[in-house]
Structure 1
Amino acid sequence: MAGRRADVLEIRELIRRLQLDETDRQIARDLQVSRKTVRKYRRWAQQHDVLTAPLPDAATLQAQLKTTLPVSPPPTIPSKVTPFRDQVVTLRQRGVECRAIYDILREQHAFAGSYGSVYRFVRHLEPRTPEAYVRVETGPAEEAQVDFGYAGLLRDPDTETLRKAWVFVMTLSFSRHSYVEFVFDQEVDTWLRCHRRAFEWFGGVVRRVVLDNLKAAIVHAALYDPVVQRAYRECAEHYGFLISPCRPRTPEHKGKVEQGGVHYVKRNFLAGRAFRDVRDANERVWVWCMETAGRRIHGTTKEVPLARFDTIERELLLPLPATPYALATWKQAKLHPDCHVVFDHAFYSAPHRLIGQRLWVRAADTSVRMFHQHELVATHPRATRRGERLTNPDHLPPAKVAGLLATPASCVQRAGEIGPATSEVVGRLLGERPLDRLRTVLGILKLAHKFGPRRLEAACARAVQYDDLTYGTLKRILDRGLDQNAVSVTARPLTAATTLPLFARPVTDFFPSTGGGSCN
């Protein structure tokens, strides 16, 4: 966050932690920001009474920050050593120390920078030496550690085929009691369902979840800027736990899971066992968690995990919410020129003014909502089949709506409003192949916008007289003003004998006047 305005969702998470009385050090560590940044937002929240008020939504918070906390552009100061990078790399490969490199640059290039700048540049080029780690034991109900591990091939009972499977393990850091589940993917909805079932298994919620940088839980695995997916943050807010991402490439930060969870499951449950399918594997692993893994003497605590959980940890867990978390996934999608985004193989409309913009799509089990800059812009029911197109006419450009919603019945109705000659032209065109002639009829009716209904009616009367009902003929009549000449033959009413093939039924029998949209 340093040197730039943080994403409003990150700031909202920071404020939520402030409201929960997290220390600046804890927040800085978990969100990968400096304590200076935390202090800045703490002062801002105190000045504007944000800490004592309900947590604002993203749109409200963004508007408030825009007016009360202006952003200053970050300074950009390139290193003075950068022009000599290749030479510095070569010297370091020869084992030359930083002090000697500094002297060489001064002698050969009249380098004006400090020794500290050379030292920092070399530190940036080279990885740090290995660090020593100290085991930190957490209190009861304070923390759970989570990971996925590859579990081999298991049979899918729905398709009767072997599929790659993964094992989800949530281990309570204090008692070492675990929840284990086998799944077929690492998607966000699977990840969230596993969390929900794990909390229901334990009968409560821990205050913090430490996880590895999985695609489903962490969007970017950058050390200083991990962005937790919006769906996972929603889940965390619903259950009341905090997310602590493990630093990239540092699995020792969560060894209770990787060594005592996933590895233990692989070595002691999967090894030497065969399963009918994934359902059988899950039923048996849940029994194993209670009767074997939960009753062993743990190598670190020297206690029985299930006994430690039952006697100390269970009653200290946060209570489960009154309602389970309604699973929802988030995805960014671009609004295409047809005013629709593509999500999960279906199409959903959004306002045409946002064409080309990237929208946030929130999909629940029965609904899909779209947001632009944290503002709700569209809501649809969830599609039930692949390729389904859900369109709100209000999202389309007004000039395009009429043609999209037109039906033969609505065109017949509109023609009748213009006059009998227009009604006969439309009726005869739609009499044989209604859907094939619909575009032609729409073009004819659209002439009323340019020339007016009265002139179109006169042009249709002339076209009927000469039995030439094409769009081109009507357009030429109107362009040349021939519709204003007198017509000696009165337009005939539409009859089955003169306008329809033998034994054919009128078009209005197939397209009742009550259905369809507008042809205007």
Structure 2
Amino acid sequence: MARRRIEMFQYRQALVRLRAGDSERDIARSGLMGRQKLAAVRELAQARGWLDPSHQLPDEALIGAALGERRRAASTVSSVQPWRELVAEWQDAGVQGKAIHAALVRLHGYGGSYSSVARLLVDLRGRRPPDVTVRLDFEPGEAAQVDFGAGPLLTHPDGRLRRTWAFVMTLAHSRHQYLEFVWDQTVATWLGCHRRAFEWFAGVPRRLVIDNPKCAITRACVHDPQVQRSYGQCAEGYGFRIDACPPRDPQKKGIVEAGVKYVKNNFLPTRSFRDLADLNAQARTWVLQEAGCRVHGTTHAKPLALYELEQAHLGPLPAIAPDLGEWHRVTVHRDCHVQFDRALYSAPFRLVGQTLWLRATDAAVALYEDWTHVATHARALRPGERRTLREHLPPAAQAFFAHDRRWCAQQAREVGPACESLIERLLADRVMERLRAAQGVLHLVQQFGRERVEAACQRALVHDSPYYRTVKTILHTGADLRAEFADVPTVTYGASRFARDAASLFAPQQGDLLH
């Protein structure tokens, strides 16, 4: 049980009754103070002559000074006093009382009880200056506060049970709020929620007081916080200023903190939801019909009623909604691609190993080297998809991908019929992929000319050896230039001597026995 605090005027009333001749038992029975305390008061009054009716009754200040001297004289020195400063340091660092007592025993040989340590901690805590706070008042349209809060668990479209998050933006003057539940706290979600909140309010507050989420602040700091580039462009496009709270100081945005708590305690507990769309539909109805129509505990007015007055003071929405792209730092990998949102986008091969800026919207992904635009791709539609521009690849890779099967067939047709036939046989191989071999045959035209390559292909076909190595050997040895090449027959054998058709093979012969 907590010790009862006796006020100074009660000590003076006890003196009055003692001077009047009341007994300590009668005074204690009235509930003024206990008999033990009354005995101490009588002893002090007798020592100072306050019970003599001829003397003037002391005032409360004099009684308080006398009682303080008595307490100091009666007090004993704490057994923890030699380590008072050390205990104060540990207490400021957040160390618990049990841990402090154990450390004193282990490190300094302290033999006292934990109660002595606990009393010293209470004394140190009482000597600290109290935490002082000042409530801020906001003019209409001056500010809104933004925060995320944990929402209910729902089944995600991928079939798994996932946590939802409540995005809450509260106008600081009227306390009218925008509430939306989302699946994540990414930059794109953060920016999209802001756009829908401004459209909900039909205006933009001059300042947004936020915490330090990674989707908005890349480095939290009291004096010089660093704003995420995407969020900075959002603020510029809509015309509001970002006011980030100091780290670990949620009281600076207490309005929205209370709003999030109100959502958790009044909206979520008594409802069930089919999916995210149903959750947000019920949230909008609740804000308009319940939360906005209640009498707020601080303003003592209905938020929607105050909002009707505040709305005219909000900044106008831009005529054209800003393009809220999200910015990210990405690295160009060895395959000349950067990775974003589990998809790959090509960049010029000269930038391999460098870090670029990537700006993503719903429809496109753009790459920048500092401020210089490098490339733009259509946004990938599925994880693992590659968006590649052929001109971003090294020259050898560009040549390889440009010289595909269609190119090989076209080039072979221009060389001649023998070359076309050989290339067709190479590309028709059902076991091996011979695209490189076909490209190699056609590249020999640059060194030996079309006529010689056509002749070499014809000789390779005659010998039934339609391979790149055969054509190359014929050209390097000059076999295509020999005169006897023209006399080589195109068909080595005529009809086979011992070949029989199926009818004659299975026809019954004379003398066969029929059963």
Picking from 236, 261, 284, the partner of 1:263 is 261
Q: Structure 1 residues 231 and 95 mapped into 2: Cα distance closer, same or farther (>3 Å)?
A: closer
Match of 2:270 in 1: 272
Q: How do 1:222-371 residues align onto structure 2 when only pairs under 5 Å count?
A: 222-223=221-222, 225-258=224-257, 260-311=258-309, 313-371=310-368
**1:330, 1:360 within 8 Å by CA — same for their partners in 2?**
yes
Picking from 407, 410, 428, the partner of 2:407 is 410
* CA displacement 1:342-401 (0-9 Å, x = unmatched): 222322211111111122222212212111112111011122233322221221222221
Match of 2:12 in 1: none
**1:408, 1:435 within 8 Å by CA — same for their partners in 2?**
no
Separation of aligned partners in 2, 1:457 and 1:93 = 96
* CA displacement 1:65-110 (0-9 Å, x = unmatched): xxxxxxxxxxxxxxxxxxxxxxxxxxx96989xxxxxxxxxxxxxx
**2:419, 2:458 within 8 Å by CA — same for their partners in 1?**
yes
Shift in Å, 1:408: 2.3
**2:222, 2:245 within 8 Å by CA — same for their partners in 1?**
no
Separation of aligned partners in 1, 2:172 and 2:371 = 36
More displaced stretch, 314-323 vs 211-220: 211-220
Q: Structure 1 residues 486 and 369 mapped into 2: Cα distance closer, same or farther (>3 Å)?
A: farther
State the AA in 1 paired with 2:343.
A
More displaced stretch, 216-225 vs 185-194: 216-225
Q: Which segments of 5 or more consecutive residues in structure 1 lack a partner in the other structure?
A: 1-91, 97-128, 494-520
Shift in Å, 1:300: 2.4
* CA displacement 1:237-260 (0-9 Å, x = unmatched): 2211121222221111111111x2
Separation of aligned partners in 1, 2:351 and 2:336 = 8
Q: Which segments of 5 or more consecutive residues in structure 2 lack a partner in the other structure?
A: 1-84, 90-128, 491-515
State the AA in 1 paired with 2:320.
T
**2:459, 2:485 within 8 Å by CA — same for their partners in 1?**
no
Match of 1:61 in 2: none
Q: Structure 1 residues 442 and 414 mapped into 2: Cα distance closer, same or farther (>3 Å)?
A: same
Shift in Å, 1:487: 5.5
Picking from 404, 424, 429, the partner of 2:426 is 429
* CA displacement 1:32-85 (0-9 Å, x = unmatched): xxxxxxxxxxxxxxxxxxxxxxxxxxxxxxxxxxxxxxxxxxxxxxxxxxxxxx
State the AA in 1 paired with 2:182.
V
**2:334, 2:353 within 8 Å by CA — same for their partners in 1?**
yes
1:137 and 2:137 matched: yes
Q: Structure 1 residues 294 and 431 mapped into 2: Cα distance closer, same or farther (>3 Å)?
A: closer
Separation of aligned partners in 2, 1:491 and 1:331 = 68
Match of 1:36 in 2: none
* CA displacement 1:112-148 (0-9 Å, x = unmatched): xxxxxxxxxxxxxxxxx99744332222111110000
- The CA RMSD over aligned residues, in Å, is 3.0
Shift in Å, 1:215: 2.3
- What SS does structure 2 have at the residue aligned with 1:205? coil
Q: Structure 1 residues 492 and 361 mapped into 2: Cα distance closer, same or farther (>3 Å)?
A: farther
More displaced stretch, 324-333 vs 146-155: 324-333
Separation of aligned partners in 1, 2:394 and 2:471 = 27
Q: Structure 1 residues 433 and 289 mapped into 2: Cα distance closer, same or farther (>3 Å)?
A: same
**2:336, 2:347 within 8 Å by CA — same for their partners in 1?**
yes
Separation of aligned partners in 2, 1:138 and 1:452 = 85
Identity of aligned residues (%): 50
Separation of aligned partners in 2, 1:480 and 1:318 = 84
Picking from 469, 473, 491, the partner of 1:472 is 469
Separation of aligned partners in 1, 2:155 and 2:358 = 33
Bigger CA radius of gyration = 2
State the AA in 2 paired with 1:315.
A
- What SS does structure 1 have at the residue aligned with 2:163? strand
Separation of aligned partners in 1, 2:484 and 2:185 = 75
Shift in Å, 1:207: 1.2
More displaced stretch, 445-454 vs 460-469: 445-454
Shift in Å, 1:421: 3.4
Instruction: Give the TM-score, by structure 2 length.
Output: 0.65
**1:412, 1:427 within 8 Å by CA — same for their partners in 2?**
yes
Match of 1:88 in 2: none
Q: Looking at both structures, which has the greater relative contact order when contacts are Cα pairs under 8 Å and sequence separation is at least 6?
A: 1
Instruction: Give the TM-score, by structure 1 length.
Output: 0.64
Separation of aligned partners in 2, 1:248 and 1:344 = 29
State the AA in 2 paired with 1:144.
A
Separation of aligned partners in 1, 2:222 and 2:134 = 20
- What SS does structure 2 have at the residue aligned with 1:489? helix
* CA displacement 1:231-285 (0-9 Å, x = unmatched): 2222222211121222221111111111x21111111212233333332222222
